[in-house]
Copies of this chain bind each other. A is one copy, B any other.
Amino acid sequence: MSKAAKAKSSAAIRSTADFARYVGLARTTVSRVLNGQPGLKQKTIDQVQRALSETGFTPNAHALHLKGKRTSMVGICVEDLLTPPAVRKLAALQKLLRERGLSSLIEVFAPGAGREVVRHFLSMRVEAVVFIGHFHREEIEARIAELIAHGTPHLVIDHFGLKNAHTVSLDRAKAMEDVVNHLLDFGHRTFGLMGIARAPSSRFDRMTGIHAALKARGLDFDTCTVSLDHLHERRNDFEYGRRLAGSFAQQAHRPTALLALNDEIAVGALRGLHELGLRVPRDFSVAGFNNQDVAAMTSPTLTTVEQNIATTIATAAELLLGQLDAPMKARPMIKLIAPELIVRESTGPARVD
């Protein structure tokens, strides 16, 4: 075959059969070179290698899998609204998996679409499924039951308290306990809740921690906390924090400290209070959550909670990889990650009205 003819035909090479024909050897031989098996003439190897770089041929991964090769894929479900910490977890997890030779199939787990997502993962024969974030409880529990029935390992990152789920989660109760204790030490006794749901959803969620901290000092939860959830549509972003802070400022008996669900709400609160001519921490103390980079850049800088995402993801990867090798554990594994309070300028002594 002339060089030109070869170059021309290379575009049509889609299978080892085509490729073997191009090289002029049997498929078996080509396959052996591709898989680096021993006992081949050097000349044969060179021949195949050259053809490989000439054509850029890549064996079909789907056919390889059919012949028994592992798919080396992990399915990752993320929440519909991708928050910055969720993105960091996703990126960190994918990096760790990639280092172990696993690639990630990432899908958004939108409410109601969970079944389809997991079935897609199963049809792709992923080796495990990871959920990152908080989901509709019943839906995700049904998915996990499905995965267990299939014998496909799973792991939940963040959403704590799901039935039969292997879980890695920040100890959010401990985090809020630390935040509230820090503020109690400053003399605060009334706390405005910003974006934090009043009903505790699990043994380690934020509300549990707030309760515990207050109770330990003999304080009554209902007396000490204020919620204005009814005033604004809950959006958990900067603008929501800005508006909500304004509403807290206009209360007759306004709290002295504001506890925000995340840094966005807290930074929005700083802005909202600033617009009203109020000073932080003189008039209000404000605490955020997640320790995003912006928290060190606001004026005043923001007291917040570090999630230790690297630890979370390292733990998650370990649990996940352990499941791939070993037979499935019947008992769900639960790991809590310790948070870290980062004290900055936005919290200080309670004002005396």
Contact surface of A with B, Cβ cutoff 8 Å? 10-11, 56, 58-66, 71, 82, 84, 87, 91, 94-95, 98, 103-108, 119-120, 122-125, 146, 149-151, 237-239, 242, 264, 267-268, 270-271, 274, 293-294, 296-299
Instruction: Name the residue of chain B whose CB is nearest to the CB of A65.
Output: B62
Which of B104, B149, B238, B297 is in CB contact (< 8 Å) with A293? B238
* Cβ–Cβ contact A105 & B108, under 8 A: no
* Cβ–Cβ contact A146 & B56, under 8 A: yes
Bound Cα distance A118, B208 (Å): 48
Q: Which of A103, A264, A294 is the most central at the interface, judged by chain B CB atoms within 10 Å of its CB? A: A294
Query: What copy number does this chain have within its complex?
Result: 2
CB distance from A132 to the nearest CB of B (A): 13
Asked if A84 meets B82 with Cβ closer than 8 Å, knowing A63-B66, A238-B293, A297-B267, the reply is: no
Asked if A299 meets B299 with Cβ closer than 8 Å, knowing A58-B122, A123-B59, A146-B56, the reply is: yes
CB distance from A54 to the nearest CB of B (A): 10
Residues of B within 8 A of A58 (CB): 119, 122-123
* Cβ–Cβ contact B293 & A237, under 8 A: yes
Residues of B within 8 A of A11 (CB): 149-151
Residues of B within 8 A of A63 (CB): 62, 66
* Cβ–Cβ contact A94 & B123, under 8 A: no
* Cβ–Cβ contact A103 & B103, under 8 A: no
* Cβ–Cβ contact A274 & B299, under 8 A: yes
Which of B91, B103, B108, B264 is in CB contact (< 8 Å) with A98? B108
* Cβ–Cβ contact B91 & A103, under 8 A: no
Which of B125, B151, B239, B264 is in CB contact (< 8 Å) with A61? B125
Residues of B within 8 A of A98 (CB): 107-108
* Cβ–Cβ contact B150 & A56, under 8 A: yes
Closest 3 CB pairs of A and B: A62-B62, A61-B123, A271-B297
Q: Which of A11, A64, A267, A297 is the most central at the interface, judged by chain B CB atoms within 10 Å of its CB? A: A297
Residues of B within 8 A of A150 (CB): 11, 56
Residues of B within 8 A of A274 (CB): 299
Bound Cα distance A206, B213 (Å): 52
Q: A103-B120, A270-B299 are in contact. List 17 more A-B contacts (CB 8 A).
A: A11-B151, A58-B119, A61-B125, A62-B65, A63-B66, A64-B123, A66-B66, A84-B84, A91-B108, A94-B106, A103-B107, A104-B107, A238-B293, A238-B296, A238-B297, A239-B296, A242-B297
Residues of B within 8 A of A95 (CB): 108
Residues of B within 8 A of A104 (CB): 106-107
CB distance from A83 to the nearest CB of B (A): 10
Residues of B within 8 A of A65 (CB): 62
Instruction: Name the residue of chain B whose CB is nearest to the CB of A267.
Output: B297
Bound Cα distance A171, B335 (Å): 47
* Cβ–Cβ contact A271 & B293, under 8 A: no
Instruction: Name the residue of chain B whose CB is nearest to the CB of A120.
Output: B103
CB distance from A126 to the nearest CB of B (A): 10
- Could you list some 29 contacts between A and B, CB below 8 A? A11-B150, A56-B122, A56-B149, A56-B150, A58-B119, A58-B123, A60-B123, A61-B62, A61-B120, A61-B124, A62-B124, A64-B123, A66-B66, A82-B87, A94-B106, A94-B108, A95-B108, A103-B107, A103-B120, A104-B106, A238-B296, A267-B297, A268-B297, A271-B296, A271-B297, A271-B298, A271-B299, A274-B299, A299-B299
